[in-house]
Homo-oligomer: A and B are copies of this chain.
Amino acid sequence: MPSSPQSTPKPLANLDFPRPLTTVDIVAFALRDERLHVLLVQRGSEPDEPFPGLWALPGGFVDVAKDATLADCALRKLREKTGVASPYLEQLGSFGSAARDPRGWSATHAYVVLIPAHLADTIAADASWFPIVGGGVKQKLAFDHDTILSVAITRLRNKVEYTSLPLYLMPAEFTLPELQRVYEIVLDRALEKSAFRTRMLSADVIEPVARTRKGPNRPAQLYRVKRAKAPTYFARTFNRPS
């Protein structure tokens, strides 16, 4: 039976049935200390809150008065936690079931956000960065956030194989070896220097600046992301190890 009993003589269709809770959750990634990190917040410890004291992805209920769209809601939550204004924001998917929230049937809209290195420290006091170990984080997370995080990591790793997404994790200026290192950290495997440089340079997404990174050895050319460049999709993935 479809859910439209036509007994009520209302002007609009009858909307008087229970509605699921609607939330938005953010999986914010950043690189710190040669490690991929995810942003988590600790849930209030009042016993009337679900999962008190556990760590969780930042997020919360859609506010029908404040948020014009789901993406607006995601950006608002992110701003409240990090102060970051317009980063790379991509919808991950939605997760909804009767069981995932003890308060009732709920559906969350999950977003993935990539935070550039130089902004990763401007976060709210109640939020912290946790290193990704393998497919997740050491802590047990609230709700089904373990699952959401795991899906997000898988998606990120897959896309890094054939896109320029890691550019969103870089500081304003960076060298090619540094960029390659970021790819390797996310993918958790070594890449070939020569092939990597050829791919990046021929993609026309970065441009050299008139400076070099000095060190105890040969200095490296500094690059920056070309302005107003959408992420590039390559026609091939890096070859995975057999």
- Which residues of A pack against B, CB within 8 Å? 1-3, 5-6, 10-13, 15, 17-22, 46, 48-50, 60-65, 67-70, 80, 91, 93-99, 102-105, 107, 109, 235-237, 239-240
Please give me the residue from chain B that is nearest to A17 by CB atom. B61
A172 to B237, CA, bound (A): 31
Copies of the chain in the assembly: 2
A70 to B100, CA, bound (A): 12
> Is A98 a contact of B235 with CB atoms below 8 Å?
no
> Is B22 a contact of A15 with CB atoms below 8 Å?
no
Q: Is the interface of A mostly helix, strand, loop or mixed?
A: loop
A178 to B17, CA, bound (A): 48
Find chain B residues with CB under 8 A from A5 CB.
Answer: 102
A22 to B94, CA, bound (A): 12
Find chain B residues with CB under 8 A from A239 CB.
Answer: 235
> Is B93 a contact of A60 with CB atoms below 8 Å?
no
Q: List the 8 closest pairs (A to B, CB-CB), nearest first.
A: A70-B96, A64-B105, A69-B97, A19-B19, A236-B236, A94-B94, A20-B22, A94-B109
Candidates B13, B15, B63, B94; contact of A70 at CB < 8 Å: B94
Tell me whether A22 and B96 are in contact in the complex, defined as CB-CB below 8 angstroms, given that A64-B105, A240-B235 are known contacts: yes
Please give me the residue from chain B that is nearest to A92 by CB atom. B93
